[in-house]
Structure 1
Amino acid sequence: MRRTLAACLLAFSTLAAAPASAQQPPLRCAVDGTFAPHAFPRLEGGVQGFNIDLFREVAKRMGREIVIDSASFSGLVPAMNAGRYDFLCAPTTATAERAQNMLLTEGYLYTAFQFGIRRGSAPIRSLDDLRGKAITVNKGSAYDAWAAANAERLGFTVQTYDTQTDAVQAVISGRAYANLGGNTVVRYAASRTPQFIADFVMTDTRAHWSAPLPLGSTAMRVQLENALECMKRDGTIARLSQQWFGSAPAADDAENTVFPGTGVPGLANYDPTPREPRC
């Protein structure tokens, strides 16, 4: 009888001592699974890429399992705001408009807008060279928003595509002159596709690539940032960056920079309260 009671007490104490993370549901996030090298299909199924490795490690440091869905980028934010996802693992450009409508973590990468063109096409030396041309963008992206806002002023037309892969293919096939995307994505496509080359960079567009969350998810944002900042301090993000993008980030790049406060400095919903990462 005593042995039975002792066993029951031991089992109860073991359950009570189990970490809270073991009782929590998996984190839910999503990526655009055609956005290489950040997220793209594996031959054996599923997705791979920089952002997949990044957020699996983030979840591990938070003591949580994670489920990463793949979907068209244009549908990710509505799905998150509808409660389907806790946050987005897709690289999301931190803009003033987005910061008004969602929470953003500090950047884990910097991005800049870059054009890619078909090999043999006339290079882009300034934005004036876009006049009379067709530009492709990934639907719902920051590049889509920029193109829509500047098409009339600069005299180009915009073709939107559900995937970045299709947007690049339209340029290669001659249906458009150039693709506008993030610098890492354009350079990666050029490294894998001989007919496509990385061209003009809009140097004044450098911005944070962040993880967005629904408004109100302040505690989750702190947890995400804490993990990201610890990964910056121990060099994990820099190593992933070199692995997937082919070069080591500079000391002052976002992969190595712990930003003050919580969120993106200078944008809405940034919290300047000092916070030391707990690693």
Structure 2
Amino acid sequence: MFGKKSVVLLMLAMTLVLGACGSKTTNDSESASSGNKAESKELNLATFGVSIGFSKKDGDRLEGYDIAVAEAVAKYLGYTKVNWTTADMAGMFGMLDAGKIDTIANQVEANEKRKEKYIFSNTYIYSGAQLIVRADDDSIKTLADLKGKKIGVDVGTSKEAYLRANDPNNELNITTYEDPSVILNDVALKRIDAYIMDRAGAQLLIDNSGLALKKAGDPVYTYEEAFPFPNTEEGKKLRDSFNEALEALAKDGTLTKLSNEHLKQDISKAS
């Protein structure tokens, strides 16, 4: 038989063992929780959400070539979630500057002005600036034909900047819009004479509008579109990761497939 002292010592030993087991379970749980958190990898992106074929909001969902490419890149790189924010172009670049998003997926033209501040991924859209006019209007082929006339453009875009830079004498009546569908209606209703937009999505937008419109002349200028990043070490690292993914997606035909699916043409390659 054990004495009282032995019983007390035995009970104390058992308490310490049970306490140790309890502590280990808690730590294992915390480690598992920490492990799950470590596996979570989120990408924060912004888009406009108003461009048919590229980035269009449909209820709670976003769809289009820009969206599909960005999500394919995210999947390739192992991101578990993509967080989307919608804003106009000025707002998106403001969020990029403030570090609130990682990049922009919205037909971002990689022009020389933007390259002074940002670094860009490989090109995934080859396009140009296209004039859209009424189907019965054969008088407009170039910007020169629009002197004294009204031209609509998406607000805050590189195309607006191009128009203003190439109109030193203010011979163009430039009207800015936030919604592309409104611009098309205004062209059809003769409120403005033309709309300058991205050539890659022009025909799709015209077809979906059901309006009597057409593309006028050759592209005003051509350009390439890509994902922009802050010119920082972190930005360069993410840009390089995006390039790795884009190269793989181009090689296996994913970019071509997504382009044909959303735009009925392959704009992922230079023509």
Short-chain TM bin: 0.7 to 0.9
- Structure 1 residue 192 displacement after superposition: 1.2
Q: Distance in 2 between matches of 1:73 and 1:157?
A: 22
Q: Distance in 1 between matches of 2:184 and 2:77?
A: 36
Aligned length: 248
Q: What secondary structure sits across from 1:52 in the alignment?
A: helix
Question: Does the C-alpha gap of structure 1 residues 75 and 15 become closer, same or farther in structure 2, counting only changes over 3 Å?
Answer: closer
Give the aligned CA root-mean-square deviation in angstroms.
2.6
- Cross-structure match for 2:60: 45
1:121 aligns with 2:137: yes
- Structure 1 residue 39 displacement after superposition: 0.7
Q: What secondary structure sits across from 1:219 in the alignment?
A: helix
Question: Does the C-alpha gap of structure 1 residues 16 and 160 become closer, same or farther in structure 2, counting only changes over 3 Å?
Answer: closer
1:234 aligns with 2:249: no
The TM-score, its normalising length taken from structure 2, stands at 0.81
Q: Distance in 2 between matches of 1:135 and 1:145?
A: 13
1:87 aligns with 2:103: yes
- Cross-structure match for 1:199: 216
Contact 2:125–2:267 (CA under 8 A) maintained in structure 1: no
- Cross-structure match for 1:28: 44
List per-residue Cα deviations over 1:182-221 (Å, max 9, x = no partner). 1023222111123222222326x22210111122111111
- Structure 1 residue 21 displacement after superposition: 4.3
Question: Does the C-alpha gap of structure 1 residues 87 and 248 become closer, same or farther in structure 2, counting only changes over 3 Å?
Answer: closer
Contact 2:126–2:267 (CA under 8 A) maintained in structure 1: no
- Structure 1 residue 15 displacement after superposition: 6.8
Contact 2:102–2:229 (CA under 8 A) maintained in structure 1: yes
Q: Distance in 1 between matches of 2:34 and 2:61?
A: 36
Q: Distance in 2 between matches of 1:249 and 1:181?
A: 15
Contact 2:199–2:219 (CA under 8 A) maintained in structure 1: no
Alignment partner of 1:150 out of 162, 166, 170: 166
Percent identity, please: 20
- Cross-structure match for 2:128: 112
- Structure 1 residue 85 displacement after superposition: 0.8
Contact 1:72–1:163 (CA under 8 A) maintained in structure 2: no
Q: Distance in 1 between matches of 2:100 and 2:139?
A: 43
Question: Does the C-alpha gap of structure 1 residues 27 and 174 become closer, same or farther in structure 2, counting only changes over 3 Å?
Answer: same
Q: Match of 1:139, as an amino acid?
A: V
- Structure 1 residue 153 displacement after superposition: 4.9
1:225 aligns with 2:260: no
Q: Please, which moves more after superposition, 81-90 or 67-76? A: 67-76
- Cross-structure match for 1:167: 183
Q: Flag structure 2 segments of 5+ consecutive residues without an equivalent.
A: 1-16
- Structure 1 residue 49 displacement after superposition: 0.9
Following superposition, which runs of at least 4 residues in structure 1 exceed 3 angstroms of deviation? 4-21
| Higher Cα radius of gyration | 2
Q: Distance in 2 between matches of 1:115 and 1:139?
A: 16
Q: Distance in 2 between matches of 1:168 and 1:58?
A: 32
Contact 2:141–2:218 (CA under 8 A) maintained in structure 1: no
Q: Distance in 1 between matches of 2:33 and 2:250?
A: 34
Q: Distance in 1 between matches of 2:217 and 2:238?
A: 37
Contact 2:127–2:198 (CA under 8 A) maintained in structure 1: yes
- Structure 1 residue 108 displacement after superposition: 0.5
- Structure 1 residue 14 displacement after superposition: 6.5
- Cross-structure match for 2:4: none
- Cross-structure match for 1:214: 230
More helix by share: 2
